[in-house]
């Protein structure tokens, strides 16, 4: 049976009514209407595929009047001549309500009948949402008596903690779980989450305490992003150097609550300051008003956290909190480091300065970490904390300098350290996009707003949120329509040893992900772009991996190029991804090993202009 959008179905129903008005609630009977006369509502009930619907119940709200549709979908029901709501219902279909004003009946025809034609279209509603609620305060036993709602539908869990909604249409929903004495939990469900017309949410723990504003331990474990890299950069000031506007991917790696903007920084945590917030969001010195958060594995090689920050319209009261995810009932621990006085007294510097935090207490642990700005007092509506460099390293980092540590032997100038190789979190994802889909709003250099956070929240494993980007000598073109572009400088000598910039991420190689397929293109049909894939093992072994096959217009290994390949493939865009060149790399030599994969662009064998490498996606299979 064909399906149609519910809005279209209802619109069709309204057209059938002519002057009738479609309503979703309340009986709009008008006082003073003549209710002694009777008329008839009649028509045919169909579904969105055009099939006639038998045995649908037709009823008049607020009365006992009802009938059912015949085998051909037709119906006729005598009703009072006044404003009425007629409901059409059948199991497995969405209910349609149609309001008929008294004026729609008009005058009687020659036979004395006053008939209004109604031809409702019912949308199939056979989808299911189900799950189970557990009591986190009682060893995660099934939680009875929890009120679970989606839209106007509400159910209450029984002794087994299970809830089920049936007869649903496939659309977006907000599911809410409420229980007196426990924190309310919401889940946003997308129509894309339905599999075979069903969403099974599994177990959700209720009753947990609020660790960060609106977030319980369960919320954080399920919703916080993994911080796969040890270094997050943002901002563009200084005209290049180690950071540049187009490399401001800090905002693509952390999730946030509250109000954030780019403002030329990596990310700015602003006190929520809309009129409603000012009226309904009082000062709170225990919970941050706006914060960013993520999940990080801590070890000896990344246990020192440095935040490079400033403020404007201060003083800003901010802190860093750590939640030990290995504990069953953790607290959000405020770090008592150099910023503690800034938390109590306020931070007022308009210049960037370092804030250092020792995470040694959590070595060997997986933690959630949050950086938050507080509404400290009444009237404190505009305080802003600007973050431009966040690092996890073997020692504190000075400002926006490259991360500390010992560079990997043989990769001098890459700013890839042995400590990074050993301490990066293993990325368990297998497919990464490198483009911005149509309809996703990503802010660029000249726009404030959430900057690149949409790559984290609206895209499928976007490379900027999942991989680390290492700026060595040249910036990017992050928002071109063909995909994500990294490039070389102009008018420099060829260099096949040090990339101009590169992406990197750590993987555990198995038989399930030992082939890497890279889809890329360049911007020239005459001058090739040079790329290289490098694998770094945790023992420091470096291997430049050459492709086993490719589909480029032309491609060949660079003579004496240290594993570099040059290629030409000018075609490829978001509407024709098949035209990108695919390079396949065999990673089976690293089976059962953890390796950091680096994909970089190199200056080729001419002194011409910029040479560009455009990424579409990366797949491990």
The answer to whether 469 touches 432, Cβ cutoff 8 Å, is no
Residue 450 CA to chain centroid, in angstroms?
A: 13
Q: In the chain, which segments carry CATH 2.60.120.260?
A: 231-405
Whole-Å CA distances, 362 to 296, 326, 365:
10, 10, 5
Q: Looking only at Cα atoms, what is the longest distance across the chain?
A: 98
Q: How buried is residue 54: exposed, middle or buried, by Cβ count under 10 Å (0-12/13-18/19+)? A: middle
Query: pLDDT of 80-108, one tens digit each?
Result: 999 999 999 998 898 899 999 999 998 88
Query: pLDDT of 532-590, one tens digit each?
Result: 999 999 999 999 999 999 999 999 999 999 999 999 999 999 899 999 999 999 999 99
- Provide the CATH number for the domain formed by 127-208 in this structure: 2.60.40.10
Q: How buried is residue 512: exposed, middle or buried, by Cβ count under 10 Å (0-12/13-18/19+)? A: exposed
Query: pLDDT of 63-72, one tens digit each?
Result: 999 999 999 9
Q: Report pLDDT for 239.
A: 35
Instruction: Choose from 341-345, 475-479, 524-528 the range with maximum mean pLDDT.
Output: 524-528
Closest C-alpha to 307, from 435, 375, 396, 384 = 396
Whole-Å CA distances, 167 to 90, 93, 98, 188, 203:
9, 6, 20, 19, 22
The answer to whether 176 touches 184, Cβ cutoff 8 Å, is yes
Q: Assess whether the previous peptide bond of 315 is cis (omega < 30° from 0).
A: yes
Q: Tokens 């009129």 map to which residue?
A: 275
The answer to whether 82 touches 35, Cβ cutoff 8 Å, is yes
- Whether 137 has a pLDDT exceeding 50, the answer reads yes
Closest C-alpha to 9, from 44, 46, 42 = 46
Closest C-alpha to 148, from 133, 169, 168 = 133
281 pLDDT band, cuts 50/70/90, is confident
475 pLDDT band, cuts 50/70/90, is confident
Q: What is the DSSP string of 416-466?
A: -BHHHHHHSPBP---EEE-S--TT-----TT--SSTTTHHHHTSSSBHHHH
SS (H, E, C) 513-526: CCEEEEEEECCCCC
Query: pLDDT of 366-406, one tens digit each?
Result: 999 999 999 888 766 678 999 989 999 999 999 888 899 99
- Whether 21 has a pLDDT exceeding 50, the answer reads no
Q: Report pLDDT for 341.
A: 65
Consecutive H or E run containing 202: strand 198-206
Consecutive H or E run containing 15: helix 6-17
Neighbours of 318 (CB within 10 A): 26
Q: In the chain, which segments carry CATH 2.60.40.10?
A: 127-208
Sequence-distant (6+) residues with CB within 8 A of 415 are 402, 403, 407, 470, 472
As a whole number of angstroms, the distance between CA 16 and CA 28 comes to 20
The answer to whether 522 touches 611, Cβ cutoff 8 Å, is yes
For 456-482, b/e burial (b = at least 16 CB within 10 A) is beebebbbbbbbbbbbbebbbbbeeeb
- Whether 165 has a pLDDT exceeding 90, the answer reads yes
Q: Which CATH class is domain 431-620?
A: mainly beta
Summary mean pLDDT of the chain: 87
The CA-based angle 364-369-303, given to 5 degrees, is 40
Q: Report pLDDT for 435.
A: 92
The CA-based angle 433-437-439, given to 5 degrees, is 155
How many H-runs (helices) and E-runs (strands) does the chain carry? 7, 43
Q: In the chain, which segments carry CATH 2.60.40.1120?
A: 6-122
Closest C-alpha to 294, from 342, 256, 327 = 256
3-class DSSP state for residue 564?
coil
Query: pLDDT of 193-205, one tens digit each?
Result: 899 999 999 998 8
The answer to whether 231 touches 391, Cβ cutoff 8 Å, is yes
Whole-Å CA distances, 192 to 94, 126, 198, 199, 485:
19, 15, 10, 10, 29
Partner residues linked to 150 by β-bridges: 153, 175
Q: Report pLDDT for 207.
A: 82
> Does the predicted model carry a pTM greater than 0.75?
no
User: What fold, for 231-405?
Assistant: Jelly Rolls (2.60.120)
Alpha-helical runs (H) found in 170-307: 217-223, 275-280
Bigger pLDDT: 331 or 235? 331
Tokens coding 449 = 């707003």
As a whole number of angstroms, the distance between CA 403 and CA 414 comes to 11
Q: For the domain 6-122, what is the CATH superfamily, name and number?
A: Carboxypeptidase-like, regulatory domain (2.60.40.1120)
- Whether 9 has a pLDDT exceeding 70, the answer reads no
């Amino acid at each position: 049976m064909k399906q149609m959008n519910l809005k279209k179905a209802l619109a069709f129903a309204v057209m059938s009514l002519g002057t009738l008005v479609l309503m979703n609630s309340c009986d709009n009977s008008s006082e003073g209407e003549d209710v002694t006369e009777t008329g008839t509502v009649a028509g045919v009930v169909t579904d969105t595929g055009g099939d006639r619907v038998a045995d649908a119940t037709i009823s008049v709200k607020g009365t006992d009047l009802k009938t059912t549709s015949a085998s051909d979908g037709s119906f006729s029901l005598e009703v009072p001549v006044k404003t009425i709501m007629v409901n059409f219902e059948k199991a497995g279909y969405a209910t349609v309500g149609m309001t008929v004003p008294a004026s729609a009946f008009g005058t009687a025809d020659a036979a004395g009948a006053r008939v209004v034609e109604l031809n409702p279209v019912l949308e199939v509603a056979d989808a299911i949402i189900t799950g189970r609620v557990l009591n986190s305060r009682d060893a995660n036993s099934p939680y009875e008596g929890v009120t679970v709602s989606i839209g106007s539908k509400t159910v209450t869990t029984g002794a087994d903690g299970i809830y089920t909604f049936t007869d649903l249409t496939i659309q977006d929903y907000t599911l809410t779980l409420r229980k007196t004495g426990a924190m309310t939990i919401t889940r946003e469900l997308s129509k894309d989450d339905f599999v075979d017309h069903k969403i099974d949410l599994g177990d959700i723990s209720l009753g947990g305490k609020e660790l960060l504003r609106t977030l319980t331990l369960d919320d954080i474990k399920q919703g916080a992003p993994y911080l796969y890299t040890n270094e997050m950069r943002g901002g563009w000031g200084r005209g290049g150097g180690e950071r540049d506007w187009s490399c401001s991917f800090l905002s693509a790696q952390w999730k946030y609550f509250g109000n954030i903007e780019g403002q030329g920084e990596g990310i700015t945590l602003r006190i929520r300051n809309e009129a409603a917030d000012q009226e309904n969001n009082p000062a709170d010195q225990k919970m941050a008003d706006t914060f960013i958060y993520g999940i990080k594995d801590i070890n000896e090689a990344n246990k020192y956290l440095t935040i490079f920050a400033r403020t404007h319209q201060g003083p800003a009261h901010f802190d860093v909190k750590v939640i030990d995810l290995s504990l069953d009932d953790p607290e959000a621990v405020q770090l008592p480091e150099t910023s503690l006085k800034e938390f109590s007294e306020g931070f007022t510097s308009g210049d960037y300065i370092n804030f250092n935090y020792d995470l040694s207490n959590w070595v060997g642990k997986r933690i959630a970490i949050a950086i938050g700005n507080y509404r400290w007092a009444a009237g404190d509506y505009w305080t802003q904390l600007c973050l431009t460099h966040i690092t996890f390293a073997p020692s504190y980092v000075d400002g926006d300098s490259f991360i500390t540590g010992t560079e990997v032997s043989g990769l001098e100038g890459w700013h890839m350290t042995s400590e990074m190789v050993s301490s990066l979190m293993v990325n368990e994802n297998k497919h990464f996009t490198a483009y911005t889909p149509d309809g996703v709003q990503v802010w660029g250099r000249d726009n404030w707003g959430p900057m690149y956070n949409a790559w984290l929240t609206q895209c499928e494993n976007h490379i900027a949120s999942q991989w680390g980007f290492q700026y060595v000598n040249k910036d990017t073109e992050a928002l071109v329509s063909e995909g994500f572009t990294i490039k070389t400088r102009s008018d420099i000598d060829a260099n096949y040893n040090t990339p101009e910039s590169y992406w990197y991420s750590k993987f555990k190689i198995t038989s399930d992900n030992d082939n890497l397929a890279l889809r890329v293109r360049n911007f020239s049909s005459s001058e090739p772009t040079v790329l290289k894939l490098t694998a770094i093992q945790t023992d420091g072994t470096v291997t430049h991996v050459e492709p086993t096959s490719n589909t480029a217009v032309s491609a060949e290994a660079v003579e004496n190029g240290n594993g570099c390949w040059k290629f030409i493939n000018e075609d490829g865009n978001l509407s024709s991804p098949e035209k990108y060149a695919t390079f396949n790399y065999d990673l089976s030599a690293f089976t059962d090993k953890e390796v950091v994969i680096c994909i970089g662009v190199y200056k080729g064998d001419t002194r011409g202009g910029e040479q560009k490498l455009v990424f579409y996606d990366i797949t491990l299979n």
